[in-house]
Amino acid sequence: MSETYDYDLFVIGAGSGGVRAARLTALGGKRVAVAEEFRVGGTCVIRGCVPKKFMVMASEVSHALEIAEGYGWSFEGASFDWPKFIQTKDVEIARLSGIYAANLGKAGVDLVHGRAVLKDAHTVEILKKDGGRDRIITAEKILIATGGRPWKPDDLPGVEHAITSEEAFHLPELPKRILIAGGGYIAVEFAGIFAGLGVETTLLYRGPNILRGFDDDVRAHLAGEIEKRGIKVILGSRHASIEQTETGLLNRLENGHDIETDVVMFATGRVPYVQGLGLETAGVALTENGAIKVDGFSRTTADNIWAIGDVTDRMNLTPVAIREAVAFHETVYRDNPQAFDYDAVATAVFSQPPVGVVGLTESEARHSCPGAVDVYLTRFRPMKYAFTGSDERVLMKLVVDAASQKVVGVHIVGPEAPEMIQLAAIAVKAGLTKAQWDATCAVHPTMAEELVTLKEKQASGHVSAG
């Protein structure tokens, strides 16, 4: 322990990554403080994964009611109260944020409310909300975990009328019409949320199909399924401008179409939150994309400063930030150098229906597997929809390295896909073969049983519909 400094470790940012690193290190007997300028919990708890999932669950009820009617239930006069929901959600988020703060306290971490700015490699200045100087703190080591911020194209005429996901969590009323720009996780998830709540929803994406980077069959299948849920999907175009009219916001598109909505939301990516941190002063360099440059052990270009989570723009997922925090702690404080393994990290898109994927897409496998690739694919109507008029379909796809017979990718679109993929990820991470998957007896009747009963290989040379 160094008495030269106020703390052994000073963490900037009390989100998922920062909190985990701070707690582990304090529990290990070090003097730790964490600075947070907003609310403890970070993006995930305050304005990301958690409130988003509550919104998805609120929205999915409308679909559940439709299914229920097929089973003989009736819900005449059922209605949804947006302000009541937002209030309930905010109470729960405040409770969770409080638990995070309490857990920091129990671990012996000092919580510093304010904005931390690096003055040199061992010194941070804490600024108050009004920008005034609060105090100077020194630390032997510093960990930056400030996360990311939504980005929208600032040069677009009228962009000031548009919101991002941050404001979407607090809209005073549910709009009648919304246009969401973007085709990634956030765009697809919020399009599902608003459509499920009865909002006339348009998704505008510049590329040929949504969810770039996902398996082409997943992309094509999901685009079809969300259209079945009433979302209007416009591909291959972008905004030319946004204009305020007497009746709403006029979205003028580059393809010449005009669409009037009440709300326009940009979900066009997030950027590392590095502004005003004083990184240069401390010798912390950035990558070309504006993220903090780190090595495999999350060490920045300054010897005593590390960075984890979205601010490093490696794999921007909460559980990954937490694993990076653990690896940082093991490496720096437990003499056990650990680099997080980004291979076979499962991920879910909470669209409606949701997506769960792990491992390689078919196209990635065709590039990286030395020999051929076997593809097993099924589309079917879930049993739950038997009594409804719905023609919704589930997609399940296994990508197998033909030479080793290892299952290298699993892709699911359909109800409970996020729950299924967590378990499938164990088998993919463990490198199990298709024969080992097949040796696992099915659970019947479930959707997941398809994963262990897929027999028919797709003809080789099959080109995915992407």
Q: Pick one of 63, 221, 270, 323: the residue that binds ligand NDP (CB under 6 A).
A: 270
Judge contact between 305 and 282, C-beta under 8 A.
yes
Determine the Cα angle at 134 with ends 128 and 138, to 5°: 120
Amino acid code (one letter) for 278: G
Select 270 or 434, whichever has its Cβ closest to ligand NDP.
Answer: 270
Choose, from 239, 411, 444, 462, the residue flagged as catalytic.
Answer: 444
Residues 205-224 that bind ligand NDP (CB under 6 A): 205-207, 212
Q: How far is the CB of 43 from ligand NDP (least distance, A)?
A: 9
User: Which string of x and - marks every residue 249-268 that binds ligand NDP (by CB under 6 A)?
Assistant: ------------------xx
**Which residue's beta carbon is nearest to the bound ligand NDP?**
184
Q: How far is the CB of 192 from ligand NDP (least distance, A)?
A: 12
Does 444 participate in catalysis according to the annotation? Answer: yes
Select 189 or 450, whichever has its Cβ closest to ligand NDP.
Answer: 189
Q: How far is the CB of 148 from ligand NDP (least distance, A)?
A: 7
Q: Pick one of 54, 194, 350, 437: the residue that binds ligand NDP (CB under 6 A).
A: 350
Amino acid code (one letter) for 318: T
53 binds ligand NDP (CB under 6 A): no
Q: How far is the CB of 269 from ligand NDP (least distance, A)?
A: 4
Judge contact between 34 and 111, C-beta under 8 A.
yes
- Between the alpha carbon of residue 443 and those of residues 186, 447, 453, the distances in Å are 33, 9, 10
CA distance 343 to 397: 19
Select 44 or 124, whichever has its Cβ closest to ligand NDP.
Answer: 44
157 binds ligand NDP (CB under 6 A): no
Strands 177-181 and 263-266: parallel
70 binds ligand NDP (CB under 6 A): no
Q: How far is the CB of 321 from ligand NDP (least distance, A)?
A: 11
Binding segment for ligand NDP (CB under 6 A), chosen from 24-32, 90-98, 179-187, 335-343, is 179-187
Q: How far is the CB of 191 from ligand NDP (least distance, A)?
A: 11
316 binds ligand NDP (CB under 6 A): yes
Number of residues that bind ligand NDP (CB under 6 A): 24
185 binds ligand NDP (CB under 6 A): yes
Q: Pick one of 119, 161, 238, 381: the residue that binds ligand NDP (CB under 6 A).
A: 238
Amino acid code (one letter) for 162: A
Contacts with ligand NDP by CB under 6 A lie at: 153, 181-187, 189, 205-207, 212, 238, 267-270, 316-317, 347-350
Residues classed as catalytic: 444
